[in-house]
Amino acid sequence: MKYAFFLGCLIPAREPNYEHSVRKIASELGIELVEMEGANCCAPFSIQSVDYASWLALAARNLCIAEEMGLDILTLCNDCYESLLMTNTILKEDKETRDKVNEVLADVGLEFKGKTNVKIFSDALYEDIGLEKVKNAIKEPFNGLRVAVQPGCHLTKPKRIHFEEIVAAAALDELVEATGAESIAYERKEACCGGPLRGINDEVALHVAKQKLDGVKTAGADCIVTVCPFCYNELDMGQLEIKRHFKQEYDLPVLHFAELLRMAMGMKLEDWEVKAHRIPITKILNIKETK
């Protein structure tokens, strides 16, 4: 498989460890990631809140770049996924809006034709690579690890632009369980991490994150596994802030799903990647070592 690789803003700026694990997994599974030259920000929630037409045009520009490459887009972030997928859906369905957007895009020499599809990493693994192939690549399973999966909102919502909510969430659970770990049930699993309000209203964001962490802790998880870089940041760094703010400590390591899978495939995290986690993940690494 070959994809137009949409990295977005947050991952190269703050979470290179996420990107690194994805690249390692991709080369193991024979997935080719082609850089999208000149691509811009996906235009997430904050930008959509300012202006509708600007959102669609910016997101569509990225879709056009992938169309010219003749490839489907692979994203690693729920927010990029939501923005690009929703724009792709709207522009494919609604000719009037498509014409308006194309009028803007003409100024930069592009035209949206509706020839690309948008996928997020977990969906691409599940739909294009296949669960069997992923299972066959597992060399050092995480047997007995109790994982609280955080799917994040825009992996599955809104329903009308995704294949069934239940199916998308279950696909991620199956992928996590392919690593040998157990995806446990916990309260408010489907709920938001609070991340979208980061920088806009930090206090509310923190309270929402706390609700999530309470549910995870009560269920007795060993760690949290995220697919979205915003969820990752909110739940990892958020724990430090919650400790300061509420004097409450959870000590819940947070792993990117790609890190979990990569380790299960027998590839160790490098020192800098282990250190990138604000909540130490040594507990998880030790569980693995003692096996």
Partner 1 sequence: MITILNTEKVNLLVAHEITNGDSDLSALDAYFMHEVANMPRGRGVLACIQCGRCTSSCLVARVVEEHNPRKLMETIILGLRSDVLRGQLPWHCLSCFTCLDRCPQGGDVGEAMFAIRNLAVREGNIPNGIVVQAQSLFETGRVVTPSRMALVNRKKYGLGKEPTVDVEAVKKILRKTSFDKLIYRGS
Residues that bind partner 1 (CB under 8 A): 7, 9-10, 12-14, 16, 19-20, 23, 33, 35, 37-41, 43-54, 57-58, 61, 104-105, 107-108, 153-154, 157-159, 165, 190-192, 194, 196-197, 199-201, 204, 207-208, 211, 270, 272
Task: Name the minimum Å distance from CB 28 to partner 1.
Answer: 15
Task: Name the minimum Å distance from CB 31 to partner 1.
Answer: 14
Residue 60 contacts residue 105 (beta carbons within 8 Å): yes
Question: Residue 253: CB partners within 8 Å, gap ≥ 6?
Answer: 222, 223, 224, 277, 279, 280, 281, 283, 284
- Distance from C-alpha of 46 to C-alpha of 52, rounded to nearest angstrom: 11
Task: Name the minimum Å distance from CB 79 to partner 1.
Answer: 9
CB nearer partner 1, residue 10 or residue 255: 10
Task: Name the minimum Å distance from CB 234 to partner 1.
Answer: 11
CB nearer partner 1, residue 154 or residue 256: 154
CB nearer partner 1, residue 10 or residue 284: 10
CB nearer partner 1, residue 57 or residue 284: 57
- What are 55's two structure tokens? 């959102």
Task: Name the minimum Å distance from CB 33 to partner 1.
Answer: 8
| Secondary structure, 3-state, 81-116 | HHHHHHHHHHHHHCHHHHHHHHHHHHCCCCCCCCCC
CB nearer partner 1, residue 201 or residue 282: 201
Q: How far lies 202's CA from each of 197, 208, 240, in Å? A: 6, 10, 13
- Distance from C-alpha of 112 to C-alpha of 222, rounded to nearest angstrom: 45
* CA 33 and chain centroid, separation: 16
Task: Name the minimum Å distance from CB 80 to partner 1.
Answer: 11
CB crowding 205-223: b at 16 or more within 10 Å, else e: bbebbbebbebbbeeebbb
CB nearer partner 1, residue 144 or residue 246: 246
